[in-house]
Structure 1
């Protein structure tokens, strides 16, 4: 495929040194997916390209690309940083984990569709000071579908009931109504409120979630449940998750 100049809009989220003064930077875009850019001379002092490709930079980038493999960054327009993330270790850790999670769900250059909107919304909210733990849980529940394990949250996986008291079953891949609690030993034994939170954050469009008010106890329980769902169905081993967990131990 011939190379062409293309303008993409996206978020820079991962950098590593490449040759002496160059770096590789990953950018998450909507239509063009996740692209790895070679940024020439980025590590030289006063490099404008280097400054425009700091982690959590967001804007328009002009790239030279063939639609596969490495692309070259040529220039940029209207780039700004999410300073609230860049200057705060905890926010940085949550945002890095979210983008890493999305990165592992898609191939390079695969259209992200609604998940780009999800990522951008999450980053903006965390940057603005909204509870990063709750935003991260929302992303994790909504991202399960991208990993091919979308849970049934609308109705009981056994009988289809949509109203009442529910628990969650990883084995069944969704919620169970109380009619089946005694016969299904794979359920997680969550409190009704905890299951309700998982349903809400998994089903509602993220822009309609607003500022969810959840108690610390419920938040810890849903965090534990989501971690278990991921561990038992996807089995990812992300460094960003390990770092985030270690950071939370000291906070």
Structure 2
């Protein structure tokens, strides 16, 4: 059965000498895998349309087994994302996180629109680190994790100074700090952003301006939480960590010079 689907390519695997198996995340059908015959040939009409992160319209042949990608039209190539290695790494992390957190043909129109909007923002030059933090916080509910970020986990107070407790699964106010001696003493701006990222409607996202020290706090808290509860091991996250270390070393040497 021939069918037109709109989607975003989130994974590609080389198959044989000239073919690819592409996984497309679609609004109406969730994740679908297709064979793209000859897509690895430089002059193939499927070469451009089967690049990772491409948002396109695809004509596919679907059956009981692996479908076939017949042709496609690029809606957005994510050119700006592809031109910057670090931004590409963040985008790859987003799609891998989504891929590992969802089942095949698990239909979720909201999640599709969320991924598309996140990649569009990356392509438009929004802060990649912060967009990734927002993506991670919003994906928690998809994974089935629900940290308490509106009030204190212990006393349910909405007022006071707060820290983030990975062990207690949420915020602790200053009156309850002694419950977790290993809580993260985040700054109050970092606490507010954690809460905002979890609840925000991405389409309402305005200008992003977060201090470097606050970004480090957010990265530490979110990474620890994912390590503790998600059970996910993502190669793209390790690649980002390596790039960030290399960038830090380069910056330090440049300052010394």
Give the TM-score normalised by the residue count of structure 2. 0.90
The answer as to 2:32 corresponding to 1:35 is yes
Is the 1:41–1:47 contact (alpha carbons within 8 Å) kept by the matching residues of 2?
A: yes
Question: Match for 1:172 among 168, 171, 176?
Answer: 168
Q: Secondary structure at the match of 1:54?
A: coil
Equivalence for 2:185: 189
Q: 1:226 aligns with which of 184, 197, 222?
A: 222
2:108 is matched with 112
In the alignment of these two chains, the number of paired residues is 247
Tell me whether 146-155 or 157-166 shows the greater mean CA deviation.
157-166
- Where structure 2 has 5 or more consecutive residues not aligned to the other structure, the ranges are 248-257
Contact 1:82 1:127 in 2 (8 A): yes
User: Does structure 1 residue 17 correspond to structure 2 residue 51?
Assistant: no
The whole-number CA distance in structure 1 between the counterparts of 2:68 and 2:95 is 21
The verdict on how the C-alpha distance between 1:88 and 1:183 changes in structure 2, with shifts beyond 3 A counting, is closer
Gap runs ≥5 in structure 1: none
Q: Which residue of the partner structure matches residue 211 of structure 1?
A: 207
**Does 1:246 pair with 2:245?**
no
Moved over 4 A (4+): none
8 A Cα contact 1:52 1:76, kept in partner: yes
Task: State TM-score, norm by structure 1.
Answer: 0.92
Shift of 1:193: 2.0
Task: Quote the Cα distance in structure 1 between the aligned partners of 2:179 and 2:41.
Answer: 65
**Does residue 1:50 correspond to 2:41, yes or no?**
no
Quick check: 1:52–1:79 contact (8 Å CA) kept in 2? no
Match among 84, 88, 94 for residue 92 of structure 1: 88
